[in-house]
């Protein structure tokens, strides 16, 4: 299976070389890797260019955008810039961050999942972060959720869900729409990806309401938003974030923020979320 990888990057000189090195050492090499240098002011572009000179399947695309790093919009706009440079000769499309180290068998294993079951629409491993000298599971989400740092999509699935949405919540709505269209989402616990920079490390203070806004645009409604906000705030060990998330929800509702899903999809999502919550409780 041909797989293309798009890597949005902004001031990643510390890590991008490690990420690309782990890709060129894969047991099954990607057909194409596009790194989008989004307004970097460091040596990111030079490092990528050096890899591109040695490995023809790696290319660099430069993009200029607002330097403000808000979750969702900036990274997906950069992804889209890279994606638009690609042709249609792929079976899988991968969105990856620029601060990862993939195990050498990562994509060989991912491909095997897609080949074994034609109903699998998305697949991924698990993120591990360094703490006290060792890498531990970055436990911010459920085990059946693929982290936004590394997402692999079947071509047909990617097209059916409408690609990636340039807003916070993109890496949740993609999976929910997969479920809506009856695709399977597979996580493989044997695939341990080193995530070298904590999630959200570069987000500025204005991002704190974005999570609640995302819950609104996903069609969660207030009850599911409240439960999801409490759970996420506790997982992050910052209980007061709950109030920021709730405020973000009401701000989005008051301003009639555009939804990421249709009313029919939102209804499905609420039923699906409530079902999952009941399964965990009972």
* 181 plus 210 within the same structural domain: no
* 174 plus 247 within the same structural domain: no
Cβ neighbours of 229 (radius 10 Å): 23
Last residue of a domain, one of 176, 195, 214: 195
The closest of 178, 184, 180, 241 to 215, measured between CA atoms, is: 241
The closest of 3, 9, 26, 188 to 99, measured between CA atoms, is: 9
* 124 plus 259 within the same structural domain: no
The total domain count for the chain is: 2
H helix or E strand, kind and range, residue 25: none
Q: Is residue 220 situated within a structural domain?
A: yes
* 116 plus 220 within the same structural domain: no
* 261 plus 135 within the same structural domain: no
Contact 109/27 with Cβ under 8 angstroms?
no
Last residue of a domain, one of 144, 160, 195: 195
What pTM did the predictor assign? 0.90
* 210 plus 74 within the same structural domain: no
Q: Is residue 94 situated within a structural domain?
A: yes
Range of the domain at 233: 206-281
Cβ neighbours of 206 (radius 10 Å): 9
* 217 plus 250 within the same structural domain: yes
Helix ranges, the chain (H): 16-24, 44-54, 73-83, 106-116, 155-160, 170-180, 210-217, 221-235, 241-254, 263-281
* 186 plus 225 within the same structural domain: no
The token pair that represents 177 in the structure block: 């729409």
* 10 plus 148 within the same structural domain: yes
Helix ranges, 181-209 (H): none
Q: Is residue 156 situated within a structural domain?
A: yes
Contact 113/186 with Cβ under 8 angstroms?
yes
Q: What is the pLDDT along the chain (282 residues), one digit of tens a residue?
A: 999 999 999 999 999 999 999 999 999 999 999 999 998 999 999 999 999 999 999 999 998 866 555 556 789 999 999 999 999 999 999 999 999 999 999 999 999 999 999 999 999 999 999 988 899 998 766 788 999 999 999 999 999 999 999 888 899 999 999 999 999 999 999 999 999 986 654 444 566 788 899 999 999 999 999 999 998 888 888 899 999 999 999 999 999 999 999 999 999 999 999 998 888 777
pLDDT tens profile 51-93: 999 999 999 999 886 655 555 678 999 999 999 999 999 999 9
Q: Is residue 201 situated within a structural domain?
A: no
* 54 plus 160 within the same structural domain: yes
């Amino acid at each position: 299976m041909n797989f293309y990888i798009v890597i949005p990057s902004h001031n990643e000189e510390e890590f991008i070389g490690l990420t690309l090195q782990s890709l060129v050492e894969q047991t099954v090499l990607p057909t194409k890797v596009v790194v989008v240098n989004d307004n970097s002011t460091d040596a990111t572009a030079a490092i990528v260019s050096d890899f591109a000179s040695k490995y023809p399947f790696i290319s660099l695309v430069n993009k200029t955008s607002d330097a403000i790093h808000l979750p969702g919009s900036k990274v997906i706009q950069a992804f889209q810039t890279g994606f638009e440079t690609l042709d249609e000769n792929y079976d899988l499309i991968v969105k990856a961050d620029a601060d990862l180290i993939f195990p050498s068998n990562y994509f060989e294993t991912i491909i095997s999942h897609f080949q074994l079951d034609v109903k699998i629409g998305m697949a991924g491993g698990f993120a591990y972060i360094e703490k006290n000298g060792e890498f531990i599971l970055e436990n911010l989400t459920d085990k059946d959720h693929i982290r936004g740092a590394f997402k692999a999509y079947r071509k047909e699935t990617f097209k059916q869900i409408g690609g990636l949405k340039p807003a916070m919540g993109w890496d949740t709505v993609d999976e929910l729409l997969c479920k809506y269209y009856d695709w399977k989402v597979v996580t493989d616990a044997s695939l341990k990806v080193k995530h070298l920079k904590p999630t959200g490390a570069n987000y500025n203070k204005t991002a704190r309401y974005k999570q609640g806004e995302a819950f609104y645009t996903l069609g969660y409604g207030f009850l599911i938003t409240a439960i999801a906000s409490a759970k996420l705030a506790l997982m992050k060990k910052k209980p007061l974030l709950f109030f920021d998330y709730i405020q973000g929800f009401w701000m989005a509702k008051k301003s009639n923020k555009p939804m990421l899903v249709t009313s029919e999809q939102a209804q499905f999502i609420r039923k699906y979320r409530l079902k999952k919550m009941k399964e965990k409780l009972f």
